[in-house]
Each structure stands twice: as C-alpha cells, then as structure tokens.
Amino acid sequence: MFSSPAFAATGAAPSGSGLAMLMQFAPLIFIFVIFYFLLIRPQQKRAADHRKTIEAVKKGDLVVTAGGVRGKVIKVEDEEVEVEIAPNVRVKIVRATLSGVTPSGSSKPAND
C-alpha cells in the first residue's frame, strides 16, 4: 500500500558515505570559518582593546560614559571612577560604564 522506491532505498549506508557526509557539511563549516574571521574575531579584539583602555584609566583623562556624560577623571578606585563633569560637580561612575577614554595629553584646543 505505502511501499515506494524511497522506502526501499533506506537500507544500510554504502561504505563511501563518510566522504559524502563531509561534502554535505563542508559549506556549513566554510560559512562558520568566514563568520569567525569577519565577525567574531574582530569583535573579540575590539572588546579586549576596550577592556585594556578602561583598565588603564588614570587621573586627568577625559572620559565619556555609556550615557554620554563627558568629564575629567579626578580619582580612580578599583571599580569606580570619580569624574568632574562641571566645575565643582563630581560624580562617581562605575568603571565598566565608561565607553571612551581620551588620555590627558592628546586633546587639542577647541578653537584650533
């Protein structure tokens, strides 16, 4: 009743199926390798560079927080940084929320 050639072909696999299976997975493996080199690896490198930059924050650096607040580092602690965002206005910011750091000697005057 339901017998068809497709059911008859589901017998034992031939001995050369290992190469055929590898050829079926080769495009998937190739796509993963491309994604690794074009997306994953550069993102990991950027994250590592950002982590090093945040760990190297020192007094006098200009920083930008994840919320967009800009200021000058006044005091550095283990997990927090004290930042002056206006004259005589200081806030404590968690170090992990810093999104950008400009070293103190590298900024140029605004009117140049």
pLDDT tens digits, 10-68: 555 555 688 888 899 999 999 999 999 999 999 999 999 999 999 999 999 999 999 99
pLDDT for res 43: 96
pLDDT for res 65: 93
pLDDT for res 30: 95
Q: Does the residue 70 lie in any domain?
A: yes
CATH number for position 90? 2.30.30
Q: Which residues have a Cβ under 8 Å from the Cβ of 54 and sit 6 or more positions away?
A: 95, 96, 98, 101
Q: Does the residue 108 lie in any domain?
A: no
Alpha carbon distance 6, 2 (integer Å): 10
Domain count, the chain: 1
**Residue 71 pLDDT exceeds 60:** yes
Mark out the alpha helices in the chain (DSSP H runs): 5-8, 17-35, 41-55
Structural domain for 75, as ranges: 57-102
pLDDT for res 104: 75
Q: Does the residue 83 lie in any domain?
A: yes
Q: Which residues have a Cβ under 8 Å from the Cβ of 92 and sit 6 or more positions away?
A: 80, 81, 82, 83
pTM of this prediction?
A: 0.67
Q: Does the residue 26 lie in any domain?
A: no
